[in-house]
Structure 1
Amino acid sequence: MAFRSEVVHCYEELATGIASMLVLARAKEWGQLPALEARCSAMVERLKAIEPHELLDATQVEHVLDLLERIRSDQAEVSGLIKPQLESLISRMGYLTQQKNLGRAYGPPH
């Protein structure tokens, strides 16, 4: 019987978190993404700390590789969904900055 690997558990949690982010991004639930992203980032930091110290058996390595493929795929889709939103936000921020600068230069609109 194989022992329960913390590394495998962390990858499973990371895959679940990224999959949840994908569901939220598809539903355009942007406000909920930062909390999940923070949880995923914490999991990545945990993996950085423990992964070098734990050896996995062949079955566990195969499972982790499958999880990594899922993570990469889901993350790519999340990024593709978020990028247009970020570009739109940056554009709106630029417009607001321009309006603020015009207001300072010429006074408030009449």
Structure 2
Amino acid sequence: MMTGQDVVSVYETMVGITDQMLDAATASDWDRLTELEQQCAACVRQLKEHEGAQPLAGAQRERKVNAIRRMLDADRQIRDLTTPWMARLSALIGNTSTERRIARAYGV
């Protein structure tokens, strides 16, 4: 079982990771973004496995809430950056699929 300080430390580590994810998304460094997402997922698994059921109180609770807010803000910004890229990628994939179907249909 993790102590309250351990829990807060993991959340604050996740803030650092999400900040790096935002930097990667801003730079269109999709490979780095993926690596950082995996690091963040490992932190989430650690919390799920070891975070106690006992709620945090006082300053620790406030730090956890602040960390979550910061992560949500970074996540929104990351989505704002990745959504247009994903739409372009989807359109590109759709165009390629259409081109293949046309080529097969007309024997090109």
Whether these two folds match at TM > 0.5 is: yes
Letter in 2 for 1:52: G
Secondary structure, aligned partner of 1:94: helix
Letter in 2 for 1:96: T
1:18, 1:40 within 8 Å by CA — same for their partners in 2?
yes
Aligned residue pairs total 106
2:4, 2:56 within 8 Å by CA — same for their partners in 1?
no
For residue 31 of structure 1, report the CA deviation from its aligned partner. 2.1
- Scaled by the length of structure 1, the TM-score of the pair is 0.87
Match of 1:65 in 2: 65
Give me the whole-angstrom Cα distance separating, in 2, the residues matched to 1:81 and 1:64.
Answer: 26
For residue 4 of structure 1, report the CA deviation from its aligned partner. 6.9
2:4, 2:60 within 8 Å by CA — same for their partners in 1?
no
Match of 2:46 in 1: 46
1:7, 1:47 within 8 Å by CA — same for their partners in 2?
yes
Which structure 2 residues correspond to residues 2-81 of structure 1 after superposition, within 5 A?
Answer: 5-53=5-53, 55-81=55-81
Give me the whole-angstrom Cα distance separating, in 2, the residues matched to 1:69 and 1:23.
Answer: 18
1:7, 1:54 within 8 Å by CA — same for their partners in 2?
no
Runs of 4+ in 1 over 6 A off after TM superposition: none
2:7, 2:47 within 8 Å by CA — same for their partners in 1?
yes
- Residues 63-88 of structure 1 show CA distances to partners (whole Å, capped at 9, x for unaligned) of 11111111110111001100111111
Secondary structure, aligned partner of 2:11: helix
For residue 55 of structure 1, report the CA deviation from its aligned partner. 4.6
Match of 1:87 in 2: 87
Give me the whole-angstrom Cα distance separating, in 2, the residues matched to 1:42 and 1:90.
Answer: 28
After superposing the two structures, state which structure 1 stretch, 49-58 or 13-22, moved more.
49-58
Cα RMSD, aligned residues only: 1.6
Please list every run of 5 or more consecutive structure 1 residues that lacks an aligned counterpart in the other structure: none
2:24, 2:32 within 8 Å by CA — same for their partners in 1?
yes
- Scaled by the length of structure 2, the TM-score of the pair is 0.88
For residue 54 of structure 1, report the CA deviation from its aligned partner. 5.1
Q: % of aligned pairs identical?
A: 28
